[in-house]
Structure 1
Amino acid sequence: MCRVEALLKLHQLDDAESSLSVVPKLESCSNSLQTKYFGMLAEAYIFFVQAQVEMALGRFENAVTAAEKAGQVDPRNVEAAVLLNNVRLVARARARGNDLFKSERFTEACSAYGDGLRLDPSNSILYCNRAACWFKLGRWERSIEDCDQALSIQPNYIKALLRRAACNSKLERWAEAVRDYEVLRRELPDDNEVAESLFHAQVALKKSRGEEVYNMKFGGEVEEVCSLEQFRAAISLPGISVVHFKMASNLQCKQISPFVDALCGRYPSINFLKVDINESPVIANAENVRIVPTFKIYKNGNRVKEMVCPSREMLEHSVRHYSF
């Protein structure tokens, strides 16, 4: 439990929750029930720390229950009593904020969540909830500030990332929006709304940099190229084209092909192509491809990168680099 509490103070919430789940039951060592840790009975200390973890993870009702149990086990402990009072007040502030938000009284909801944060200034849930209010009020900068606070406490907090990305889009900060949507795309690979938001942010970023954007639409797939004329036309399109030279019988090609399909969805502003060198030897000869899998990246018809048997990490790093 000391370890759990330490992880909690370091904002390593996933590790804290994982460690909490393997704490042994005290029933199996009942002779330890009267042992005190930092002046608190052992069983009370377990509930005391559990309440803090539940609060940090946004499970407010569970936090109140755990804090109440800590107080029942060790009713004379001042620290347990203070925590119980604090947890009840924070849970009440959050519930009041939620009710006000549902009633579209966003300014008052901000104030309610703020009351909770004054009592629990490291609560990422309350920061994210208040960020939602600022978003509804059109206060994009304030919303980003609260999302930043939430993410500094809980770095992979999906709701905070979604909210910050949406705010950056509203402010036309396209590079920041793309960065958040790319993280979300990795975390939520099957979420079509995230994929589409990423695509539109990538297109807007290109336009903001003065790049010409033609015939770009959401929902592309890896295009199979069979003739040299088709190949040259495809790589000459405006923007970036990534070509996967492969053989159907090659094991490495079979292993990396699903990843290329995933990249196509993850980076929809890029044109992905595939060429089977056995079926299209003219293209392979023209591009001097002898080993597969080989990947070549073209920009406006000019080759800018070539990779032979790259790792997935290297391939995605290169694709991401040229997507900007």
Structure 2
Amino acid sequence: MQPDPSDMQRLQVVEKHISKCGDVRRVGDWKSVLREVDAAVAAGADSSYQLFMCRAEAFLKFHQIDDAESILLHIPKSEPHTNSSSQARFFGMLCEAYSYFVRAQIEMALGRFENAVTAAEKASQNDSRNVEVAVLLNNVRMVARARVRGNDLFKSERYTEACLAYGEGLRLDPSNSVLYCNRAACWFKLGQWERSIEDSNQALHIQPNYTKALLRRAASNSKLERWEEAVKDYEILRKELPNDNEVAESLFHAQVALKKSRGEEVTNLKFGGEVEEVSGLEQFRAAISLPGVSVVHFEVASNSQCKQISPFVNTLCGRYPSINFLKVDIQQSPTVATAENVRIVPTFKIYKNGCRLKEIVCPSHDMLEHSVRHYSF
């Protein structure tokens, strides 16, 4: 039976793009690698396990680690290898070896060093003669050893030696965000906060959502009294770790220090306050005249919208501890409602040192938090 000419033509197109993909991969042109992979998939190779792995490798080279890992998690299952297909090659490697080769690099980038060694060893078992595989296996083993050595030295409080160990790992794997972050911790312990920030920045350049690196940078900026930078980092961390009390307290102290550096009055500010209930006009005026920003929730306890948003106000109180949060039931305190001209609930008003800055009527959660965040600096 003669093969279908159109199928043969599609196969030739796919092979052409895969061949080009190999050429541009060899010279490290990862943008062209992605383009050729997409072209091969569009031409009909939409279930090729190796092309999916090639895309993951390209994402990794662009420091898009989450995208690379996502491909690993969602990649189609490969067909069992027959005797003939098990000898098929992809970029000069046996196909199965290439899959483990890419997986080892991704595991290493994510800081899963033991998994990386296992994957590299499997790649070597599948294709022991391939030079790329042999080099990767050697590097992965040496980087993993450097990391273990660095960790042991760090635990023994030998921070200078730990820096050298992590540095040796970075010499072999200069795009490893985990090693940069670990070395940043050493610099911090040694009081070299500028260098800690430099390594944290390197880690965040490679992995922008790396929480530990953000913590290191925020703490180092605090030590250097760069309060604005510290507050920005702690604000991001507060969103990522909403239940972390240490982050909340660090944010509060950085915010207080920032206010002091700007010459603002910061007396009577304390961490971990609660939403204060205000019941009379005199108490209300005294409360909003406290130093800093006050957010007042005008409510009616029985109102359904007030019931819905009230727990979120409690959350914001914990999330923005430098702000005074107050609530006034306008049925219980009509004099306050009249003085502030509040007729609709829930209404929120934001004050600073007794002066009203903003009024929001029936806001969404996002709108309310956006306003609170804006005035928290």
TM range (shorter): over 0.9
Alignment of 1:26-105 (within 5 A): 26-28=78-80, 30=82, 32-105=85-158
Query: Shift in Å at residue 2 of structure 1?
Result: 2.1
Q: Which residue of 2 aligns with 1:204?
A: 257
Q: Does 1:269 align with 2:315?
A: no
Contact 1:132 1:143 in 2 (8 A): yes
Question: Please, which of 56, 61, 66 is the counterpart of residue 9 of structure 1?
Answer: 61
Q: Does 1:185 align with 2:238?
A: yes
Q: Does 1:23 align with 2:86?
A: no
Per-residue displacement from partner, 1:64-100 (whole Å, max 9, x unpaired)?
A: 1100100111122221111111111111111121122
Q: Which residue of 1 aligns with 2:4?
A: none
Q: TM-score, normalised on structure 1?
A: 0.95
Moved more, 130-139 or 20-29: 20-29
- The 1:301/1:150 distance shift into structure 2, 3 A limit, reads same
The 1-side partners of 2:319 and 2:86 are apart by 53
Q: TM-score, normalised on structure 2?
A: 0.82
Q: Does 1:312 align with 2:362?
A: no
Query: Shift in Å at residue 254 of structure 1?
Result: 2.6
Contact 1:242 1:298 in 2 (8 A): yes
Q: Which residue of 2 aligns with 1:301?
A: 354
- The 1:85/1:224 distance shift into structure 2, 3 A limit, reads same
Query: Shift in Å at residue 211 of structure 1?
Result: 0.9
Per-residue displacement from partner, 1:20-59 (whole Å, max 9, x unpaired)?
A: 0222343546575433222222211111111011100111
Question: Please, which of 107, 115, 119 is the counterpart of residue 160 of structure 2?
Answer: 107
Residue 323 of structure 1 aligns to a residue in which SS?
A: coil
Aligned partner letter, 1:303: R
Please tell me whether Structure 1 or Structure 2 has the larger radius of gyration of its CA atoms.
2
Query: Shift in Å at residue 107 of structure 1?
Result: 1.4
Aligned partner letter, 2:186: C
Moved more, 46-55 or 241-250: 241-250
- The 1:246/1:70 distance shift into structure 2, 3 A limit, reads same
The 2-side partners of 1:15 and 1:252 are apart by 40
The 2-side partners of 1:37 and 1:276 are apart by 71
Aligned partner letter, 1:258: P
Residue 138 of structure 1 aligns to a residue in which SS?
A: coil
The unaligned stretches of length 5 or more in structure 1 are none
The 2-side partners of 1:184 and 1:6 are apart by 29
Contact 1:26 1:33 in 2 (8 A): no
The 1-side partners of 2:368 and 2:57 are apart by 40
The unaligned stretches of length 5 or more in structure 2 are 1-52
Contact 1:245 1:289 in 2 (8 A): yes
Per-residue displacement from partner, 1:95-149 (whole Å, max 9, x unpaired)?
A: 1211222222211211111111111111000000111111111100000000011
- The 1:276/1:36 distance shift into structure 2, 3 A limit, reads farther
Alignment of 1:215-230 (within 5 A): 215-230=268-283
Question: Please, which of 130, 140, 151 is the counterpart of residue 204 of structure 2?
Answer: 151
Q: Which residue of 2 aligns with 1:175?
A: 228
Q: Does 1:233 align with 2:286?
A: yes
Q: Which residue of 2 aligns with 1:292?
A: 345
The 2-side partners of 1:173 and 1:318 are apart by 24
The 2-side partners of 1:270 and 1:155 are apart by 29
Aligned partner letter, 1:291: I
Q: Does 1:258 align with 2:311?
A: yes
Question: Please, which of 282, 287, 298 is the counterpart of residue 245 of structure 1?
Answer: 298
Identity level (%): 81
